[in-house]
Amino acid sequence: MPEQKRIRREKKTVGEMVRLYCRERHGSGGELCPECQELLAYAFKRLDHCKFGESKPACGKCKVHCYKPELRQKIIGVMRYAGPKMIYHHPLIAVRHLLDGMKSK
């Protein structure tokens, strides 16, 4: 079974957000810093293991809190920072629902 569309889209979105965050906040050019590499690898792994697949809700709204607390805090920081910019830079990637879900916790 090919990788599910929904999961692939979330990976692309989270990848773009981490890259933008790392470039502007950590001053990395092109390459992600080790910390952000680890965070992104972790986020991808969580998505691969997500049991909801195609019917997956936005991660922030998900009932299963599959992130480790410290990485959860980091990804929330990335989304808060990069989310609004993503809408500007990549209007096709809608991240609002993701953001809203994360913030309401």
Which CB, 68 or 96, lies closer to Zn ion?
Answer: 68
What number of other Cβ atoms are within 10 A of residue 31's Cβ?
11
Q: How far apart are CA 60 and CA 70, in angstroms?
A: 15
Residue of 14, 17, 20, 22 that binds Zn ion (CB under 5 A): 22
Q: How near is the Cβ of 38 to Zn ion at its closest, in Å? A: 10
Q: Which stretch binds Zn ion (CB under 5 A): 22-30, 56-64, 71-79, 92-100?
A: 22-30
What is the distance between the alpha carbons of residues 35 and 90, in angstroms, rounded to a whole number?
A: 24
Which residue, 67 or 81, is less far from Zn ion as judged by CB? 81
Q: Which of residues 74-103 bind Zn ion (CB under 5 A)?
A: none
Q: Which residues contact 26 (CB under 8 A, 6 or more apart)?
A: 33, 35, 36
**Helix (H) / strand (E) containing 22:** helix 5-25
Distance, in Å, from the CA atom of 55 to the CA atom of 61, rounded to the nearest integer, reads: 12
By CB under 5 A, name the one of 7, 15, 33, 77 that touches Zn ion. Answer: 33
Beta carbon nearer to Zn ion, 32 or 102: 32
**Residues near Zn ion, by CB under 5 A:** 22, 26, 33, 36
